[in-house]
Amino acid sequence: MLVHNPISTVNPPVTSISHQGLFRQRNSLIPGILLTLGIAMIAWFAGKQFPVIGGPVFGIILGIIYSNALGVRTIMQPGIAFSSKKILQWSVILLGFGLSFGQIVSTGGESLAVTFVTVSMAFISALLLGKILGIHGKLRTLIGVGTAICGGSAIAAVTPIIKPEDHETAYAISTIFLFNVIAVLLFPALGHMLQLSDYGFGLWAGAAINDTSSVVAAGYAYSQQAGDYATIVKLTRATLIIPICLFLVFLEYWRQKKNDMPEVALAKIFPWFILWFLVASGVRSTGLLPEALLPWLAGIAKFMIIMALSAIGLSTNLRKIVSTGIRPILLGLGVWVAVATSALLVQYGMNQL
């Protein structure tokens, strides 16, 4: 006769595993964060030496090299995932302290027509050309946003909303970087060939070049005045990331409702870091912050972006990128050409060359 042991029904190992799992969850962040931090510091220094490339690009490249050459141990993966998501969101919030809405609107108002046309052209061309090339919707969105707004920073802002695969984010940033470098080398020469004024070139560079560092590099390579105006135009353009992020939030909400996905709640998918970004920008606009503090906040934000993109690089599988093929690069080229051409046409029509 078998005697049933009531103790056997308790299953104590579950409780033990649960406690161990919670302990590991809290403490296993450290190895991955330290690895990400180390790569980010190297990338930051390299970016200082080669500002045309920039620290974020170095971060993602070094992360990809490390991940695919040496491999990432399982114990490091939680910290890397934390860096690629949470630190990314915190960096976007800190960027808000560098944008004063009043200053940008008053100084960059003349560029709004060109900016709206180029941003619209970027999304339209990304949608149409992306469908023709058969590129996945999220990668198409990343390349469109990066080209339309502000390169890697815009991609960083929308990544927590649309939640692409890490290799898609890496591919989009790499594509944007390629055309940033080409723009720095090509735009000043084209500007002189077209005999653009300092004002005209600054408007064109600020509206058509993706990344802020590349806008600054190309603008000041043309002239001091062109560089000053290009920077203001670029900052004006960067503020459009706010309505674009909000639009993507509601689009994601609508998609989940349409597909009858469980537990659909706008509060769960709303990017609250964008709200805090607005709060930070509002604080910046009030003038309450000491001016001496602003460069430090901007520097911390930029380093956190480098750290987040280093983590994305560490999460990237090159085999998946290679399997994607050349089509995303062709998409990036098509969108970039459409933006640069439409900007010149609008400037010509409004006599702003």
Record the tokens describing residue 293, joined without a space. 């503090």
When comparing pLDDT for 238 and 27, which is higher?
238
pLDDT for residue 267: 54
Mean pLDDT, range 157-173, rounded to an integer: 77
* % residues pLDDT > 90 (the chain): 4
In this predicted model, which residue has the larger pLDDT, 230 or 323? 230
Mean pLDDT over residues 1-6, rounded?
A: 42
Structure tokens at 298: 């901007």
- What pLDDT, on a 0 to 100 scale, did the predictor assign at position 231? 74
Residue 61 has pLDDT above 70, yes or no: yes
**Tokens for 186?**
């090509």
pLDDT digits (tens, 9 = 90+) for 210-258: 776 677 767 877 887 887 788 778 777 777 777 787 788 777 777 766 6
Q: Which two tokens stand for residue 169?
A: 């984010």
Q: What is the pLDDT of residues 30-55, one digit of tens each?
A: 888 999 999 999 999 998 888 766 77
pLDDT value, residue 150: 73
Q: What pLDDT is recorded for position 104?
A: 53
* C-alpha span between 289 and 303 (Å, rounded): 20
pLDDT score of 133 more than 80: yes
Average pLDDT score over residue span 154-167: 76
Q: Is the pLDDT of residue 25 over 60?
A: no
- Predicted local distance difference test score (pLDDT) of residue 105: 59
- Euclidean distance between CA atoms 93 and 177, whole angstroms: 23
Give the model's confidence band at 323: pLDDT under 50 very low, under 70 low, under 90 confident, else very high.
low
pLDDT for 281 equals 76
pLDDT in tens, 266-317: 455 455 666 777 788 778 777 777 878 888 887 888 888 788 878 878 877 6
Q: Confirm if 161 and 269 have CB atoms less than 8 A apart.
A: yes
Averaging pLDDT over each range in 15-19, 83-87, 154-158, 338-342, which range is the top one? Answer: 338-342
- Give the pLDDT score at 73: 84
- Residue 15: the pLDDT is 42
pLDDT tens for 77-118 read: 888 888 877 887 787 778 778 766 665 555 556 667 787 888
Closest CA to 157 of 79, 91, 231, 59: 91
Angle, helix 198-208 to helix 224-238, in steps of 10 degrees: 30
* Residue scoring higher pLDDT (267 or 208): 208
Q: Is pLDDT of 263 > 60?
A: no
pLDDT at residue 138, rounded to an integer? 82
Residue 38 is predicted with a pLDDT of: 93
Mean pLDDT score of the chain: 76
Residues 6+ apart with CB under 8 A from 307: 36, 37, 40, 59, 83, 87, 91
**Alpha helix locations (H) across the chain?**
12-27, 29-49, 55-69, 77-82, 88-95, 101-108, 112-133, 137-148, 152-162, 166-193, 198-208, 212-222, 224-238, 241-258, 266-269, 272-286, 294-314, 318-324, 327-349
Asked whether residue 351 carries a pLDDT value surpassing 60, the answer given is yes
Query: Are the CB atoms for 325 and 175 separated by under 8 Å?
Result: no
Residue 217 C-alpha from the chain's centroid: 19
C-alpha R_g of the chain:
23
Please determine, for residue 3, whether its predicted confidence score (pLDDT) is greater than 60. no
